[in-house]
Each structure stands twice: as C-alpha cells, then as structure tokens.
Amino acid sequence: MSGTILALAILAAQFLLACAMVCNLWRMLRGPRAQDRVLAFDAFYVNGMLLLVVFGIRSGTTLYFEAALIVALLGFVSTAALAKFLMRGEVIE
C-alpha cells in the first residue's frame, strides 16, 4: 500500500521536475539577454539536483545525496563566475 503510493507520487514529482527543467531550458534558449540565460541556468541546475534527490528516494540508496551536493556546489560556483563575468567582463581580475 505505502509502496504503491510512494511509487506513484515519486513518478508525479519526477514528471513535474522534468517539466520545470524543460521550461527552464526554453528560457535558457530564448534569452533574450545573457543575464536571463544565466538565471535560467541557475534554476535549471537546482531542478536537476532535486530530480537527483527524488531519484534517490525511488532507487532507495543514499548515494545520490553526495551527487546532489556536488551538483549544488559546482552550480553555485559556475553561477557566481558567470555573474562576475557579466559584471566585469573577466572572471579573475
């Protein structure tokens, strides 16, 4: 009983997160300007990380937490670097 509920709900959550990622991808491709793309990329990696966590619930291993943490760290650093690049034209001055 609880397994069925869980499986269905995880499937629904995965579907919603995948739709959210498609929306973010559309905004990333459309633009219209560079800061919109970076903002969409920021939301995109957060949604991808959440998809990993939900996949971890589904598959039943806690290994995906480390993967999610690495995605979050790399995404934060890359968004900060992109914002710095947009502001100054250089990442490291």
Partner 1 sequence: MTAPPLWAAWLVVALAVFGAALAMVGALGLLRMRSFYDRAHPATLAATMGATSIVLASLLHFSFAAGRLLPKAFLVAVFIPLVSPVTTMLLARAALARDRSQAFGARPPQTPEDAEWQRKAALLAEAQAEAARRPVEESS
Residues that bind partner 1 (CB under 8 A): 1-3, 5-6, 9-10, 12-14, 16-17, 19-24, 26-27, 32-36, 38-40, 42-43, 46-47, 49-50, 53-54, 56-57, 60, 62, 65, 68-69, 72-73, 76, 79-80, 82-84, 86-87
Buried b or exposed e, range 11-37, using 16+ CB within 10 angstroms: eebbeebeebbeebeebbeeeeeeeeb
- CB-based burial label for 73 (10 Å; 0-12, 13-18, 19+): exposed
CB of 60 or CB of 92, closer to partner 1: 60
| Residue whose structure tokens are 């034209």 | 89
> Residue 13 Cβ, how far from partner 1 at the closest point, in Å?
4
> Residue 29 Cβ, how far from partner 1 at the closest point, in Å?
11
